[in-house]
Amino acid sequence: MDKNTWRPMENGTELIPTPGYDLQTTIDVDIQDIVELALMKALATYKGNYATAIVMETATGEIKAISNLTKEASSPTGYSEFANYAIDVSENDPGSVFKLPSMMAMLEESNMPLTDMVTTGGKYTVFNKTMTDSHDYGTISVQGVIEHSSNIGTIKLMQRVFSSKQGKFYDYLKKFHLIEPLNFQITPRYKTPKFPVPAKWDALQYMWSSVGYSSNTSPMHMISFYNAIANNGYWIQPIIVKNATVGNKVVKDYTETQKKDKEPLCSAETLKKIKTMLEGVVLRGTGNNLNGTPYGIAGKTGTAQRLVNGHYVKGTYYVSFIGYFPVAKPKYTVLVAMDKPEGGSEGTYARQVTAPVFLDISNHIYSRDMKLQRTLSGTLPDSLNNAQLSHTIHPLDQKILFSNFNLPKVEEDGRWVLFSQDKKLVQNSPISFPAKTVPNVVGMNLRDALFALENRGLKVRANGMGAVISQSIAPGTPSRKNLLLNIQLK
């Protein structure tokens, strides 16, 4: 070595690298794509500050998708992944989605029937504080309180049940895993919900908390509670990492340490009532724009005034929807939340903003999961006798079709082939259309019909889907350039 060359010397502080583990996550990449696209579309429409969405598998607690998008001007889409809102204790109150744990606590403590009535009236003042509803619902049932998301109805019922034992309400929330850290595998910035102990409560705390104010918690806490309802009352700790492996060997199975309650959160009777309420929200209540799916949805809307610098700002909202599907046998629980959607008044409530995102996600998941599809009963249709037995197709399509099925090639003397079927016999014959006349496109698909007609200078207006069943100008009619022809497809 020459005098200008340096050689590193060991000083005992060097660490020998060790091979890392491979982690198997619970994320389903297809569902993740569905969720990210649905969330981005909603943000493009409502221009929210941020939004988050979570999909949890009901029976296992596995997170199948999680997306967080924050408004950022420098991003090509206007949004980027900046913070994990799904797991952080929110700066905003959860709003009306918190009415469900409050109702579960009340039903457990009092066993009140869903038919009990409560008068709302639109405004209610208690201890010099006024709580309002978005509408005056008059006198409604206990079930109607949840279906219409009545703040006043919830508070009045809370007074009936917990006014003399407010600490008992706190105990229920603790049992529901809503006020303690989840110990999720990704550590949040703020992991402990901001929920004061009863010793520090004023006279209003338990009432305001029951409707989702003064009760900051994380979206992951809330979806875990709703997932327990879908899972027959049994709470499961959410997980996103299933195991760690070295090669093909599993060195750590995280499902073995995943917390799972041995007892349900509530009695079977209370659970039945809660499920009935959530189904009612979609059938008749604030989420009825999700009604009518082939699989059924149950869930709850949440709209809360935003908390900015310690003050609630009227007209700006934090909105969410949490629910599960299929309603008869839930497989997925989904949460969607958005901060400060833009728009006019009730146009930015959860019903208009986050409930449709839930529907977008659930529809796409349902369509791709054959196990969720309903089995049709009855006799299978006779597809052979009921099928259309004659089609006119382009010879290139015929060539591909016959080649795939090893059928003999047909020598055509024209541009088109008439493909026909009689029971078990398949026949086809070449056809051509006379020059300067309107061709017969009945039986063609839209692509072939447009090709045949537009090549003769005709303008085409198509209506419907499938194969052409009629055309407005009879075949053989002399054609001319720009002649308008309507075709109907079915």
Q: For 227-250, how does the pLDDT look when each residue is reduced to its tens digit (9 = 90+)?
A: 999 999 999 999 999 999 988 899
**pLDDT of 302-311, one tens digit each?**
999 998 888 8
Rounded mean pLDDT of the chain?
Answer: 88
From 3.40.640.10, 3.30.10.20, 3.20.20.140, 3.20.20.100, which CATH number describes the 383-489 domain?
A: 3.30.10.20
Pick left, alpha or beta for residue 176 (phi over 0 → left; psi -120 to 50 → alpha; otherwise beta): alpha
Residue 349: CA count within 13 A, CB half-sphere: 16
pLDDT at position 311: 84
Angle, vertex CA 341, rays to CA 336 and CA 343, nearest 5: 135
Q: Give the domain ranges of the chain.
A: 23-372, 383-489
DSSP 8-state class, residue 390: E
Q: Half-sphere exposure (CA, 13 Å, Cβ side) for 272?
A: 7
- Interval 155-211: pLDDT, tens: 999 999 999 999 999 999 999 999 999 999 999 888 888 888 888 888 888 998 999
Residues 370-425: tens digit of each pLDDT: 888 776 566 666 665 665 556 676 666 666 766 666 666 655 545 566 656 555 55
CATH of the domain spanning 23-372, picked from 3.40.640.10, 2.40.50.100, 3.40.710.10, 3.40.50.10320:
3.40.710.10
E runs forming strands in 361-411: 390-393
Q: Hey, what are 152's tokens?
A: 């006043």
Q: What is the pTM of this model?
A: 0.76
% of the chain surpassing 70 pLDDT: 85
342 and 47 Cβ atoms separated by less than 8 Å: yes
**β-bridge partners, 470:** 488
Cα distances from 187 to residues 46, 87, 148, 212, 271, in angstroms, run 30, 8, 36, 24, 31
**Which residue reads 């537009």 in tokens?**
454
23-372 with 383-489: one CATH topology?
Answer: no
Quick one: pLDDT at residue 381?
64
- Give per-residue pLDDT as tens, 17-28: 777 889 999 999
Return the amino acid letter for 454.
E
Highest mean predicted confidence (pLDDT) among 223-227, 365-369, 483-487:
223-227
**Please, which residues have CB within 8 angstroms of residue 489's CB and are 6 or more apart in sequence?**
446, 462, 463, 464, 465, 466, 467, 468, 469
What are the distances in angstroms from CA 378 to CA 251, 255, 384?
50, 42, 18
